Amino acid sequence: MRISTFWYCLKQGIKNICRNILFSLASVATISACIFLFCLFFSIIANIRHMTYLTETTIGITVFFEEGMTEEEILAVGDEIAQRPEIQEMNFISAEEAWESFQADYFQGMEELAEGFADDNPLASSASYEIFLKDISDQPQMVAYLEKLEGVRKVNYSNAVVAGFSNLNKLVGILSVAIIGILLAVSVFLISNTIHVAAAFRKTENQIMRLIGATNFMIRAPFVVEGVVLGLLGTVIPLGVTYLLYSEAVSYITSHFMNSVNASGILQIIPLDRLFPVMSGVSLGLGVGIGFFVSFFTIRKHLKV
């Protein structure tokens, strides 16, 4: 394609947009709403997943064993547990290590209190395994498995956190797919309508082009340019808004909530510079893709040879 042809198609596409400015604005607004919601849900889901990941790596399952079991017997059960594919990491904490850790946590600065126990380990039957899973949603079945194991006395886990993250993830996922789906359908309808109106405006021009011997590519190009520009505008605007809102939200949440709530270190928001490149890439693909494909297929009806 000649460079002059490229500029010609670009100019005609932009002319189309200006001619039907109201339809064009409506299309841009709908795509913007769609992409904005996409960005919003993308940010929420990405952050929930991030926190879930943190949960998976910081909140584990602790397995305690029956009194009187020797360390060899416990290690044998441990070997059996280690065969499970859901496990990412598994640490054995002996009774001595458990006692040392307890002392460090509770008798710090008051070491004389611990001395009273002398060589007697009050946590002698508290040897345990700390288990971290690859996917936190596997926790219920893993707990059920552990509880049925012979020699297992008690299984400690945080059911509420896991269930909370899992359910929230699902809910936001379903909600976002539903809302984005509806908005996507509205965007497709509006862009298609805008292209139809543009084609009606250019009916004579298209007829002349056909009779002069213009190729379908040449007739179609200005409309596809129009669709792509609408898609691009409808993406850039919400991306800018999301950029500003996200930065503000991060600094607000960090300064107001993080210090008080986030003792466990689980509540951490993904920094904008890590989230934004992926989000803008997907959004641009979505917005420009909608514009391209809808205009491409809509204008086909007007390309009778």
Partner 1 sequence: MIEISNVTKTYKAGNKAIRKLDIKIADGEFVFIVGRSGSGKSTLLKMLLKEVEPTSGRIIVNNMNLQRMPRRSVPKYRRKLGVVFQDFRLLKDRNVYENVAFAQRVIGVSARKIKENVPEMLKLVGLSAKYKFYPNQLSGGEQQRVAIARALINNPEVLLADEPTGNLDRHNADEIMELLEQINARGTTVIVVTHSQEIVNRMKKRVITMDKGIVVSDKKGGDI
**Tokens 């993080």, residue located:** 258
Of 204, 255, 259, 260, the one binding partner 1 by CB under 8 A: 204
Question: Which of 162, 224 has the CB closer to partner 1?
Answer: 224
Tallying the residues shown for the chain, one arrives at: 305
- Please tell me the distance from the alpha carbon of residue 181 to that of residue 242, in angstroms, as a whole number: 20
Separation of first and last alpha carbons in the chain: 21
- Run of H or E including 5: helix 3-19
Question: Which of 21, 305 has the CB closer to partner 1?
Answer: 305
156 pairs with which residues across the strands?
Answer: 62
Binding-site residue total for partner 1 (CB under 8 A)?
20
The nearest distance, CB 20 to partner 1, in angstroms, is 14
Q: Using the rule CB under 8 A, is 50 a contact of partner 1?
A: no
Closest of 238, 172, 185, 189 to residue 35, by C-alpha: 238
The nearest distance, CB 50 to partner 1, in angstroms, is 51
Cα radius of gyration (the chain):
31
Residues 6+ apart with CB under 8 A from 232: 284, 287, 288, 291
The nearest distance, CB 207 to partner 1, in angstroms, is 7
Site residues for partner 1, 212-231, by CB under 8 A, read 212-216, 218-219
Q: Per-residue x/- mask for partner 1, residues 266 to 305, rule CB under 8 A?
A: ---------------------------------------x
Q: Using the rule CB under 8 A, is 260 a contact of partner 1?
A: no
Q: Using the rule CB under 8 A, is 247 a contact of partner 1?
A: no
Report strand pairing: 152-156 vs 128-133.
Answer: unpaired
Structure tokens at 246: 């996200």
Q: Using the rule CB under 8 A, is 145 a contact of partner 1?
A: no
Question: Which of 134, 300 has the CB closer to partner 1?
Answer: 300
Query: How many CB atoms sit inside 10 A of residue 211's CB?
Result: 8
The nearest distance, CB 203 to partner 1, in angstroms, is 10
Question: Which of 9, 131 has the CB closer to partner 1?
Answer: 9
**Tokens 């205009």, residue located:** 295
Residues in contact with partner 1 by CB under 8 A are 1-2, 4-5, 8, 204-205, 207-216, 218-219, 305
